Structure 1
Amino acid sequence: MKQILVFFGGCSTEYGVSLQSAHAVLTHLDRSRYLPIPVGITRNGQWRYYAGPLDAIPEDRWQEEPWIPCALCPDRGSGKLLLLDGSGSSLSFDAAFPVLHGKNGEDGTLQGLLELAGIPVIGCGTLSSALCMDKDRAHKLVALAGIKVPRSQLFHQGVPLDELEQAAAALGFPLFVKPVRAGSSFGVTRVTGPAGLADAAATAFANDRELLLEEAIPGFEVGCAVLGTEDLTVGAVDEIELSHGFFDFEEKYTLKTSSIHCPARIPPEKAAEIQAAAKVIYRALDCKGFARVDSFLTPAGEVIFNEVNTIPGFTAHSRYPNMMKAIGLDFSQLITRIMETEVGA
């Protein structure tokens, strides 16, 4: 039986979503093949091993039993979680499964720590995680792979407002002002005219030291779940239907004014084109294990890349598992397939 560290929580603004995703993973993991070792990361970055029953993790009581302070053994290849309760005990494991979202979890930082310690990582590694979190560098690499991307311009913190205004005028309104590295649309503002640029830039820079001005793409967003490393399995394409605005953090997790259609309401040949593009993007950004590739489909039928989520949501209502369910992989089968990509049976 393989023993798997399952990381969840974290320091990002997507802390609560990570807890929901981890709960779904832990409850659907095949316990006859994989033994989970849950490690919660508090909002301020403390590591806690959970030694209690896996069906009821009390994430709001980090300082009480059965939470035990812990740390990763830095000795390369040791594969041990050190319990810092004074007992001198440790837990051995075979691989780590980060179920974290946003910065300090999905951006390659944790993956780098694990790879430095010689620990197999289930899912994308350091390079692909960092690249996919970086909207500017991801777009440049995907464009080199022959996939269309939105027109955009990169700016560093401290840029004069008149430079932003000139670039925005060249791109045309409406446009999006985005932090280069942030998840779940945090810090993203849709701007319809020059008057909104200053506030939008301040919001973006509150989340990252760089921002993108990016043209608004007509049409709607489509997603494609990808599974595997060498041989890739792609899920059904889904479609986001918006009544107004854009798919921001609140809409992603409440769907108050939007709907997700899976499969997407598009011709089969267009879905196949989106799936083929998703494979190209996945490989161009060095993804492995699993990821969700998001693109736009314009009224003219063009597929334009948006972003890759290297650790998409894993709740019962999340897009990634639903896309895989549409091709016949239920949640438990999906988690097993993900585990097999790195640690086998």
Structure 2
Amino acid sequence: MEIAVIFGGKSPEHEVSRHSAVNVLKALDKDKYNVCRVGITKEGRWYMTEAGYEAIADGSWEKDPENRQVVFPHDPVVHGLLVFDSEDRAETKHIDCVIPVLHGAHGEDGDIQGLMELAEIPYVGSGVAAMANSMDKTITKVLAATTGVRQAKHCVLQYHSYKEDPEGEVMNALTAHNGKFPLFVKPSSVGSSVGASKAKDAESLRKAVAEAFKYDTKVLVEEAIVGREIECAVLGNYDPKASRVGEILAGEEFYTYDAKYNNPKSTTRVVDDLPEETINRIREYAVAIYKAMDCRGLARVDFFYSNEGEIVFNEINTLPGFTNISMYPMLWEDMGLPQPQLLDSLIELAMEEHSTWK
């Protein structure tokens, strides 16, 4: 099979995407797949590259003189890439399936999925609507509420109102939470905790809201749930299965971007100290939310397990990381499905889903 792995992109999570892509590229079975590496620069230029793993990880792949500019035409007859030479002459390259290792904007919001559907090329992961709705945490909360799973109390701030009256919007958030702190503030449609802050008083809330609005036009202000951060991996299309559950042990006060990727004190582990009944309930909730969001292929569903013993849904990630510390592949590895076989399953699910709408 001809597989295209797409990484990078115009997103605050560009660097995370590169590291995920390296692990995906390493794990793909070279006896089963011819793998085409497609990198997107931070400026949005698309190139087919033969750069090595280290160059992809550190970003120097962009300077590889052998890179060739590519586009994915929406014409389904092409069913693949147009690859340009130095004189702007193009040849076609057939692609059987795309693995979009793109985190954040244009990767998890339905953009790349819409392009692939126009081109009629199978791709790993959920469709346009599920991606867009899962990316937007405010919409996720509305759809996830249909499952009856408990969520943190929250309110939504809009940039157009904030721009006209910043202090008024901050006060609205305080009123919605009855003046209680701490509160978590995060952009509605950005992952990897980019732009997220913990506010302990009104002044830090003002700063947190201003910071979050740098990344999005909608900002979520949530009550703080005191407890453990628990994650569950889901795999499948119409009959999805849940892994056992893992736990994040943040090296900082909460799991910020730096805590995730730059703090060696942050660790993840498979949970073995919760009652089996609780673990199974978390797995059931993960599948229920996955179905409510109409997901396909894969997702990681995140919860809090409060000090009072409550399971509280946090968010869903429809293109979870595949870095060395990422929970999704780790949990399936624990279930006896190492990364090469996991990727085989994801490609099979993509081809199966494509056959239903072709």
Same fold (TM over 0.5): yes
Shift of 1:291: 0.9
1:263 equivalent in alignment to 2:271: yes
- Secondary structure of the 1:236 match is strand
Q: Determine the structure 2 residue equivalent to 1:73.
A: 73
Whether the 8 Å contact between 1:20 and 1:315 is mirrored in structure 2 is: yes
Shift of 1:193: 1.0
Q: Determine the structure 2 residue equivalent to 1:125.
A: 127
Whether the 8 Å contact between 1:108 and 1:126 is mirrored in structure 2 is: yes
5 Å matches for 1:151-166?
151-157=153-159, 158-159=161-162, 160=165, 161-166=167-172
Say how many residue pairs are matched: 342
Q: Determine the structure 2 residue equivalent to 1:25.
A: 24
Shift of 1:255: 4.0
Question: CA offsets per residue over residues 138-165 of structure 1, 9 Å max, x none?
Answer: 0111012211111111111132313422
Whether the 8 Å contact between 1:6 and 1:36 is mirrored in structure 2 is: yes
Question: CA offsets per residue over residues 187-240 of structure 1, 9 Å max, x none?
Answer: 111101112222111101100011111111121110001111122222220012
Cα distance in 2, alignment partners of residues 327 and 13 from structure 1: 31
Cα gap change, 1:144 to 1:106, in 2 (>3 Å): same
5 Å matches for 1:160-199?
160=165, 161-171=167-177, 172-199=180-207
Cα distance in 1, alignment partners of residues 25 and 249 from structure 2: 31
Whether the 8 Å contact between 2:3 and 2:36 is mirrored in structure 1 is: yes
Moved more, 60-69 or 90-99: 60-69
- What residue ranges of structure 1 are gaps of 5+ in the alignment? none
Q: Determine the structure 1 residue equivalent to 2:42.
A: 43
Shift of 1:265: 2.9
Shift of 1:41: 0.3
Q: Determine the structure 2 residue equivalent to 1:239.
A: 247
- Secondary structure of the 1:144 match is helix
Shift of 1:71: 0.5
Cα gap change, 1:56 to 1:167, in 2 (>3 Å): closer
Cα gap change, 1:4 to 1:243, in 2 (>3 Å): closer
Whether the 8 Å contact between 2:241 and 2:287 is mirrored in structure 1 is: no
Q: Determine the structure 1 residue equivalent to 2:355.
A: none
Q: Determine the structure 1 residue equivalent to 2:146.
A: 144
Larger helix proportion, structure 1 or 2? Answer: 2
Q: Determine the structure 1 residue equivalent to 2:114.
A: 112
Give the letter for the 2:322 counterpart.
Answer: F
Q: Report sequence identity in percent.
A: 37
Cα distance in 1, alignment partners of residues 53 and 228 from structure 2: 38
- Secondary structure of the 1:89 match is strand
Shift of 1:77: 4.7
Cα gap change, 1:40 to 1:243, in 2 (>3 Å): closer
Shift of 1:107: 1.6
Q: Which of 289, 296, 299 lines up with 1:288 in the alignment? A: 296
Moved more, 216-225 or 56-65: 56-65
Q: Determine the structure 2 residue equivalent to 1:320.
A: 328
Moved more, 36-45 or 156-165: 156-165
Whether the 8 Å contact between 1:239 and 1:265 is mirrored in structure 2 is: no
1:228 equivalent in alignment to 2:236: yes
Moved more, 279-288 or 121-130: 121-130
Question: How large is the RMSD of aligned CA atoms in angstroms?
Answer: 1.8
Shift of 1:61: 4.0
Whether the 8 Å contact between 1:27 and 1:54 is mirrored in structure 2 is: no
Q: Determine the structure 2 residue equivalent to 1:214.
A: 222
Q: Which of 331, 339, 344 lines up with 1:331 in the alignment? A: 339
Whether the 8 Å contact between 1:70 and 1:82 is mirrored in structure 2 is: yes
Instruction: Report the TM-score when normalising by structure 2.
Output: 0.90
Cα distance in 2, alignment partners of residues 15 and 142 from structure 1: 28
Moved more, 27-36 or 303-312: 27-36
Q: Determine the structure 1 residue equivalent to 2:62.
A: 62
Q: Determine the structure 2 residue equivalent to 1:7.
A: 6
Deviating beyond 4 angstroms after TM superposition, the runs of 4 or more aligned structure 1 residues are 53-59
Cα distance in 2, alignment partners of residues 343 and 266 from structure 1: 37
Shift of 1:274: 0.4
Cα gap change, 1:265 to 1:242, in 2 (>3 Å): farther
Q: Which of 312, 316, 336 lines up with 1:308 in the alignment? A: 316
Cα distance in 2, alignment partners of residues 261 and 156 from structure 1: 37
Whether the 8 Å contact between 1:297 and 1:304 is mirrored in structure 2 is: yes
